Chain A
Amino acid sequence: KAGVTQTPRYLIKTRGQQVTLSCSPISGHRSVSWYQQTPGQGLQFLFEYFSETQRNKGNFPGRFSGRQFSNSRSEMNVSTLELGDSALYLCASGVGMETQYFGPGTRLLVL
């Protein structure tokens, strides 16, 4: 089975711009979660989608949003980028929340 794929792998944006990241889960997985990883804050949960519905949400501002499509693929959007949004964004998929398999991540640099 193919693993979780994320595109793009690397991204450079400037402050104020917006960005959309994509995640394709493992075939058959309906749960997709997003995490932000930074050196200062570590790994933090953004949100989780299951069957196109957001089931859980972390403590991030409304600039961070996401959605899930009928084929379970998910996108994450960050609007009005700030320098502090520079991070590795990781997507994980699972049959449910109990076991989550992570993709390689998208490394975002905001200048």
Chain B
Amino acid sequence: GEDVEQSLFLSVREGDSSVINCTYTDSSSTYLYWYKQEPGAGLQLLTYIFSNMDMKQDQRLTVLLNKKDKHLSLRIADTQTGDSAIYFCAALNYGGATNKLIFGTGTLLAVQP
């Protein structure tokens, strides 16, 4: 079945850039998402990209999509301590047989002051 994979942990220093990577298996994925989850909270939609795009930038966030390699990345510029959280990558095959979000396991981003 569909699968989304992420590395488990990333540690960066405050002010550096963070890059969180994700791979997915379903080439029919039409939308790809990044969500943020802080301790004890729900999921916050950070950004998403449509499968016919290569890149999307939104303030400090840059999403890169390599559809050939089924690879998605999230770059956070000037990372702050408030960015410390778990980041989930998710894929949606909109209108497909399984019209549901498939989530990765999440990447814990730790920002050192």
Q: Which residues of B contact A104 (CB under 8 A)?
A: 41-42
User: Is the CB–CB distance between B99 and A48 below 8 Å?
Assistant: yes
**B93 nearest CB neighbor, chain A only:** A97
A66 within 8 A of B: no
B1: nearest residue on chain A (CB-CB)? Answer: A59
- A44-76 to B contact mask, C-beta < 8 Å, 1/0: 010010000001101000000000000000000
**Residues in chain A near residue B45, CB distance under 8 A:** 99-102
Query: Is B77 among interface residues, defined by CB-CB distance under 8 A?
Result: no
Q: Is the interface of B mostly helix, strand, loop or mixed?
A: strand
The count of chain A contact residues (Cβ–Cβ below 8 Å) is: 22
> Which label, helix, strand, loop or mixed, suits the secondary structure of the A interface?
strand
Assembled-state Cα–Cα distance A105/B42 (Å) = 6
B:75-113 near A, CB below 8 Å: 88, 90, 92, 94, 98-106
Interface residue tally of chain B, by bracket?
20 to 34
A35 nearest CB across to chain B (Å): 8
- State whether the Cβ of B44 lies closer than 8 Å to any Cβ in chain A: yes
Q: Is A43 an interface residue (CB 8 A)?
A: yes
Binary contact track B28-65/A, C-beta < 8 Å → 1, others 0: 00010001000001111100100000000000000000
A15-41 interface mask toward B, CB cutoff 8 Å, 1 = contact, 0 = none?
A: 000000000000000000101000000
Interchain CA distance A102-B90 in the complex, whole Å: 13
Contact assessment for B101 and A100 in the assembled complex, using a CB-CB cutoff below 8 Å:
yes
A55 to chain B, nearest CB (A): 7
> Closest CB-CB distance, A5 to chain B, in whole Å?
10
**In the assembly, what is the distance between CA of A78 and CA of B108, in Å?**
30
CB contact under 8 A between A42 and B103, given known A97-B94, A98-B92, A98-B94: yes
A45 cross-chain contacts in B, Cβ below 8 A: 100-102
Point out the residues of chain B lying under 8 angstroms from A98, CB to CB: 31, 92, 94
Bound: A16/B71 CA distance, A: 43
Show 12 A/B contacts (Cβ-Cβ < 8 Å), sorted by A: A33-B101, A42-B103, A42-B105, A45-B101, A45-B102, A48-B100, A92-B43, A97-B94, A99-B45, A100-B101, A101-B45, A105-B41
